[in-house]
Structure 1
Amino acid sequence: MSEPSPAVQGQSMSKSARARRNRTAKKAALLKDVNNSACSTEQAGSSESADTTKNVIPDEGEHLTAETVDIADTDASATASLPKEPLPTKINLQPVTNPESDPKLTTPSFLPVSEVADVPPQPKTAVKQAAQSPSSPVIDQPIDNLLEMIRAQRQALLQGPRVTIYIGDTSVEGISKRAAMAASTALNKYFTANPQSHEYVFSRGQIHPGAVRLLLIGWMQETCNEFEAYAVPAQKTFGEDVALLRAARLLGMERYCSHIHAGYVEYLKTQLPSYEEIIAVEQNATSDKDPLWTAMVNHLCHDRHKRLLPDPEDFAAFLEKHTRLRNAMESADIFFRGMAKKQVDDREKQREKERRQRWERNQAEKHERIAKERLAAESLRKKMDEKGSGLMTVTAEEAELLRGRTRTR
């Protein structure tokens, strides 16, 4: 029996097989269009940066949508610092007697910083190499707001040279220098002062590479090519969102994550976080004045003072292993005690002031009444001496004196 022709084969295929074939063809065409658009966007950059940009495109099974964008990271050590499983939203602290031995409480190894600097100290070797390297074109790009720019302006930001950000031994390559300078105050300040530089350095653990890649490559390219720019979307877990907010603060890109920041500040002010969330905020706080940190510390102090914690003994054991949080809460307690004492003193001073004002007002009314009575008495005495046998006209004050004199007789 001879083999059927291709047309006959196509007719004999089941509906499900034809549907799978159509989906495969559409997916191949879509990936081809995405790769072509990425290549056209990177024509002004080097071949190395073009390859790096292609890696941003999600592989099969991964999604990069406006609702949720994963913070992907190719560095193994950095990836371990973000939680892999979603952290459950809880309003109660879960008992943990030994948080460090619990595998669920694996925390990022971010280095605490006392203050957020616009530009972290750059290694002397990197600055020296930047001064000697004429390969990177000078970019004159002021800071701008991508959310207010039209698409043509945003697409123009993706043209030109590429820069690399180093976080310890991890590198994030293929970042559009012009777009980075437009969106990040820290990068704008540094590359304006060092126009030949094509590198920017963070110390290891200071910022999460995946968050940097999301802000400056994944979200940046998406929002610059969309018809209307959009803010950075929230991530899947609490830990990823907090790491993203830390990166935005260190890069000076807070405006693009302000909606995420406001939501978590409100949450930490009104809800009791889980131990995992406490650790995430503690490790990602950029300073002792970080809004997420202060909101959480104040709320924990309030609930501990009001005896609202469901597990005070476990929480006390937890604080013994988290010195920064314990010291912050002790400082907050001292501050609130001082503020409460000041409020009591201020209320007492206000009451004393009101009592003094009432006494002074009563004294003034008394002196005024005595003065009027003296004048009326003197006037009445003169009238009585001069009246003779005629009628005497008196004022109200004088009549009151006469009635009082009559009652006392």
Structure 2
Amino acid sequence: MKFDKVIIGNIVLPDLNFLGEIGVNDGKIVEISKTTGVLEGQDVYHYGKDFVFPGFIDAHVHCYSNPNEGIKRASYAAAKGGITTFLDMPYDLPVPVASVEVLKKKIETINREAIVDIALWGTIPKEDGAKVIDELADAGVAGFKLSTFETDPYRFPRIADADILEAMKKTGNRDLVIAFHAENDELLTRYIKDAQAENHLEPIYHNLTRPPVTETTAVIKLLDMASWADAKLHIVHVSHAKSLDYINWFKQQGTNVTAETCYNYLLLTTEDLKEQGPKAKINPPLRQPQEVRELEAQLLDDSIDFITSDHAPWQKADKSIGDADIFKAKSGTPGLEIMIPLLFDHLVGNREVTVSHFADLLAFAPAKRFNLINKGSIETGKDADFAIIKNSEPWKVDENSFLSVSDVSPYHGQQVDNRIEATFVRGQLVYSHSTGVKEQATGRFVKPNE
């Protein structure tokens, strides 16, 4: 058989990696050979000993928190970063994805502009919101995202407990994940108010006004509610090992719960917050160095299900406004195009995480959790999504050269010792280091179980 494409390299499977080749027809993986020189293809891509990973999946992206970003730019950044599928959050500015009408418009934009595949989160209105769950589920959302902390009363509201419980029951009945930004609104609002009254506006006060208890108390409440509601709970951006202790205890009791951390919580600490100020402001905040080490130990002990970027593409003006008052700066950092190389250096290069475990944390596990059945692993019959990583190729992060609209990063100037050599989505080469991003929109909206 002659294939449309043959990919040759060090292929990463769930339990091993080997020098071999992959035969692709019609955007699907048809054959995997553990030797080279066996498969014949119309187009052959030979990557030597470079790693051929399944296309990476980022389950936590904000394309429209800053409307200057949008689907097109975010998908370009994702392709450059080896991410072939991402799940975009629903807190779009100016209108959140809390109705079918808004969802359908977003799907149209994806199918018109994206060069990687994208699944979508939905959310619910602030009051009596569970009524929209069935129609959004029917329209193909991959899950629902809610918050116990209020960023904005319309776009990103705090949801009351009674509505949370009802939403948990409904999403559980639909076999859909319900995810939460878990911070205790009452506590941190008081702490911030007190700090501002005392003129404590330095960067470290972003951490001090959001101590671990503001996360753990919210997490415990959600875990208990999910256990009663038979929900499929997911806690986003876990920043502290104590939260994971609670999550894993409930998991052992039978609660259907998963947890993610974000790359920033593994790579940065409060020392970076002190040094870089608004650049390093994220919610929940960066933690103390010892707390970061404890979180990483949980990751290495398989107590974290997967890792995400929480990509928030702010620009310099959005951050510099907080130079004299940390509370004024926007929260979040960009991550789509740099997360994978940074984590590969840190986890595979420095912590001896196997490439298979790396693939599990950043491809297989999120695909499984969100029922993206054709994504996440290199298997026959699945989409031919690949990310090629070339090791021992030094370069430096440059916040001024991002494909994302964001032009500010706490990693600016940091050396990285690997690079994304190429990215394939359903067999299409959408990015290569030598030629850049393919301009043609070939991405698709992805529904769970399809």
TM surpasses 0.5: no
Greater relative contact order structure (CA < 8 Å, 6+ sep):
2
The TM-score by the shorter chain falls in which range? under 0.3
Higher helix share: 1
The structure whose Rg is larger is 1
Question: What TM-score do you get using the length of structure 1 for normalisation?
Answer: 0.21
Higher strand share: 2
